[in-house]
Amino acid sequence: MNTAERRIATSVLVIGTGGSGLRAVIELAERGVDVVAVGKRPKADTHTSLAAGGINAALATVDPDDSWQQHAADTLKESYLLANPHTVEIVTRGAARGIEDLERYGMPFAREEDGRISQRFFGAHTYRRTAFAGDYTGLEIQRTLINRAAQLDVPVLDTVYITKLLVRDNVIFGAYGFDLNDGTRYVIHADAVILAAGGHNRIWRRTSSRRDENTGDSFRLAVEAGGRIRDPELVQFHPSGLIEPENAAGTLVSEAARGEGGVLRNALGERFMERYDPERMELSTRDRVALAAYLEIKEGRGTPNGGVWLDVSHLPRETIMQRLPRVYQTLLELQMLDITTTPIEIAPTAHYSMGGVWVRPEDHSTDVEGLYAIGEASSGLHGANRLGGNSLIELLVFGRIVGEAAAAYSAGLESQRRSASALDEARAEVDVLLASDGPENVRSLQRVLRNTMTEHAGVVRDEAGLLAGLAELDALGERMTKVGVHPDIAGFQDLAHAFDLKSAALAARATIEAAIERRETRGCHNRSDFPTLDPSLQVNLVWSGPGVLTREELPPIPAEISALMRDVDTAGKLVE
């Protein structure tokens, strides 16, 4: 057993090397601050690279009447009033600067003939404010940030799995982890730690995340360190994820497919959106389309595989090749299916954690001194329905702000007090798992958990199902004490999966307990036993451990913003 330890000391440690983590890294390096970034998957292949649609900012390059105030109003309206107005203002005001930063780093945005950045409609936006690069915007952003971090010579460790944050008297002093390839342990001492390790949507059976990402790592690391989770029940289900092949279940079919004129039909051939949103049809909001597809399948009008049909075959071949190249390519590769002639079988898929670690709006600091959270790991911007294109701009705005805040925090520390017992505890946690040789297989327990969440806490929920889900989580917890962990010649992936499972179990419990408490239907959260919106539940639910939930009031929306909040016509627009 490899118990060799590598010790690193740095001013700031960033956990996660997606868009938000790298933007924070760049901010710190440009300020001359010592920073190290670690990730459990290669930085060129983080979740940010999958984002297709675009990135929002009220640049007013195409629609001169646009403003950050209107962007804020659209965001709050779509959030079903659960977004924090302060957070929303910071992001929408800072968005243009976020785009400028990307331009400065060399991002190849699509442009108009006169050189202005192109902007298109996306979801419930009043104006065209989504900048893009083909249908692979996230990939280009990630490449741009990787290149800038490389220019700044920032150390990025691609194969380090963080198992525990190191805390003494509610003050962070670093993190503990291991190398995924050879098991070398890492003790990283840091003045400040930025948590950018994603959300928790991998805990469902069909998800747009890959197998080893978004397993709730941020949630577990934060809660065990003394932080809290806000709104874990608010998870966005994307309407169009593939069903087959099994190993790629949940892979997204971009909503551009519906935006360009794709039609949804059930197994009877009916264009079912007529029943749910006859005005907007397939261009309805993400939560409405996902709910409609779910109900068609649930009520027995789904395809044999439990899906619905998305058909673009009536569109000119040229349109498909120009506007949907990635969708065309993906279906050919995964299913040998030609979307110019044949409909695509899809079903709703867990896509985005709108809740996350509890943070303060102004600097995304947490309950633990010196610990920050950003990106999908954090909360406050999206409420009960995320406005398409907002997640990418959030990474840039708060990456910059948190980098600045962590730099100032580190510079202001007079000394750092460490704790030998906290380090011993982190060490022992890894030792115990490596020594465990029980009969339970980690991967099969992950499958059990995903089935539980899909069955009882999916698109539509009710009290009986959620309580049954909690009972299944209790039984799973018992089985988790009997796992066998077996590193092999290929590396320490099995140990990583065991920690992923711990994280997923905590995130699942938080999600179900908050979903029980939110006895209403609002945005992405559908309770069949409470089908209407309850004004008294216009609050954030904050979870700080099993059975411990509090309600948090939201600050009022400024009058200049609320005056601009209105229903937005989606005719002729790309959906989110």
DSSP string, 85-107: HHHHHHHHHHHHHHHHHHHHHT-
> Taking 90 as the threshold, does the pLDDT of residue 69 lie above it?
yes
Please identify every residue annotated as catalytic: 238, 258
Which DSSP helix (H) or strand (E) runs through 121?
none
- 372: DSSP letter: E
> Taking 60 as the threshold, does the pLDDT of residue 102 lie above it?
yes
Q: Could you tell me the sign of the dihedral formed by the alpha carbons of 521, 242, 465, 517, in that order? A: negative
> Taking 90 as the threshold, does the pLDDT of residue 70 lie above it?
yes
The pLDDT assigned to 573 comes to: 40
Comparing 111-125, 475-489, 494-508, the range with the smallest average pLDDT is 111-125
Cβ neighbours, 10 Å, residue 481: 9
Nearest to 20 by CA among 40, 37, 42, 41: 37
* Residue range 84-95, pLDDT digits in tens: 999 999 999 999
* CA–CA distance, 31 with 26 (Å, rounded to integer): 8
Determine the angle formed by the axes of helices 463-480 and 442-456, rounding to 10 degrees.
Answer: 170
* CA–CA distance, 209 with 446 (Å, rounded to integer): 14
* Residue range 401-417, pLDDT digits in tens: 999 999 999 999 999 99
The pLDDT assigned to 209 comes to: 82
* CA–CA distance, 471 with 479 (Å, rounded to integer): 13
The pLDDT assigned to 124 comes to: 73
| β-strand partners of 185 | 5, 178
Amino acid at 359: V
The pLDDT assigned to 213 comes to: 83
3-class SS of residue 224: helix
Residue 439 C-alpha from the chain's centroid? 33
Here the tokens at position 281 are: 């049809």
Determine the angle formed by the axes of helices 420-435 and 493-517, rounding to 10 degrees.
Answer: 110
Burial of 556 (0-12, 13-18, 19+ CB in 10 A): exposed
Determine the angle formed by the axes of helices 85-105 and 390-412, rounding to 10 degrees.
Answer: 90
- Please, what is the average pLDDT of the chain? 93
In the predicted model, what is the mean pLDDT of residues 65-87? 96
The pLDDT assigned to 359 comes to: 98
